[in-house]
Amino acid sequence: MHKNKIYQKSLKDLNTFSIDVTAKKIIFVRSIQSLINICKTCNLSNIPYIILGEGSNVLFLENYKGIVIINRIKGIKVKEQINAWLLHVYSGEKWNDLVKYTLRMGFFGLENLALIPGCLGSAAIQNIGAYGLEFKNICQYVDIISLENSKIIRIKKDLCKFSYRDSIFKYKYKDKYAVLAVGIKIYKKWNPIIFKALLKNINITEVNPYKIYNSICQIRKKKLPNVNKLGNAGSFFKNPIISKKKAKKILSLYINIPHYLQIDGSIKISAAWLIEKYNFNNIQIGDAAIYKKQKLILINRKKAHPKEILKLAEIIQKSILKKFKIWLEPEIDFINAMGRIKLLKNI
């Protein structure tokens, strides 16, 4: 434990929403044994603790009474098969650093997930996705560790219950477990995933993994706020998935609404479109506001209080429910003084 840095300061720089709250202690861990030791001490002393990577998908609601453990357990192991590369990546690695690493190594297939914030741990928990690719498409397994008995368990992909921004790690393996590493399979035969916005920038005959990566980086930088200038946690709400019957009714009223058919027959609706269509007229609660270029993102202009962000989110939820009869579910995690909490119908 002596090798870990221990701080007693604000969490402002450790969450992308830039919420200025404090923790009892902030500890950066760089080894599995250090993580085990700290969690064991917390369990014995009954001290609450929470594990974060980049703090990119959370909203702290108040000062945290326990220890915030920052996961910096890093490492990438590569095995070569005849037709694929197998990567074992530790959960403290930054996702975009991994994408850049694979491009440097000539392993092609992750480029559509360029510039997504956060670490590998949250990639698995959230089942991150963008531009036709999701984490579940390249995942082989997820290694988790029990923070009570230090046992490492390998969960095969088929048992991870991956779905839209969801996984078993949000439920069964949420408390007293931590994601330790993930297994990723990248096939040597590259099959590019092409999307409309890409073809505006690249000629179809000139498509290669590097051009896709650079194009997506350009798109994301134009569309998404820089976390160093405007605090945010990316998409605040999930795109709602509704029944075919309900979708048919809405599509008859709003023919231009972006929608996507799901495997089970349900329909995913664009939450950003719903918020855009409602036209909130630059609504702002204190320093909390809707980002103009991407309406799914709520921003902290400077010194927003968590209650201001929650109030803004609540106004959006109630307004969308009233107009479209659709409830927007938050995508981010909420953390109070004792840990993660679930905010359901009323936030």
Cβ count near 187 (within 10 Å) = 14
State the Cα angle at 5 between 4 and 11, rounded to 5°. Answer: 125
Question: What local confidence, expressed as pLDDT, does residue 206 receive?
Answer: 80
Q: β-pairing, 64-71 with 23-29?
A: parallel
Q: β-pairing, 5-7 with 23-29?
A: antiparallel
Give the mean model confidence (pLDDT) for residues 39-63: 95
User: Confidence class of residue 199 from pLDDT cuts 50, 70 and 90?
Assistant: low
Active site residue 235: yes
User: Confidence class of residue 43 from pLDDT cuts 50, 70 and 90?
Assistant: very high
The label of the residue with tokens 């194009």 reads 215
Helices (H), the chain: 32-45, 95-105, 120-126, 196-201, 209-223, 244-253, 271-278, 306-324
Give the torsion sign (CA, 335, 339, 345, 347): negative
Give the mean model confidence (pLDDT) for residues 150-167: 96
Question: What local confidence, expressed as pLDDT, does residue 279 receive?
Answer: 85
Q: Which domains does the chain have, with CATH numbers?
A: 5-71 (3.30.43.10), 76-220 (3.30.465.10), 225-341 (3.90.78.10)
Question: What local confidence, expressed as pLDDT, does residue 347 receive?
Answer: 44
Question: What local confidence, expressed as pLDDT, does residue 282 receive?
Answer: 79
Among 134, 165, 215, 308, the one annotated catalytic: 165
Give the mean model confidence (pLDDT) for residues 7-36: 92
Active site residue 331: yes
Give the mean model confidence (pLDDT) for residues 291-314: 95
Give the mean model confidence (pLDDT) for residues 139-155: 96
Token pair belonging to 257: 């609404």
What confidence tens digit (pLDDT) does each residue in 304-346 have? 999 999 999 999 999 999 999 999 999 999 999 998 887 755 4
Token pair belonging to 282: 């630059």
Question: What local confidence, expressed as pLDDT, does residue 8 receive?
Answer: 54
Among 54, 111, 308, 331, the one annotated catalytic: 331
CA nearest to 253, candidates 231, 238, 269, 240: 269
What confidence tens digit (pLDDT) does each residue in 68-116 have? 999 999 999 999 999 999 999 999 999 999 999 999 999 999 999 999 9
CA nearest to 338, candidates 36, 63, 7, 44: 63
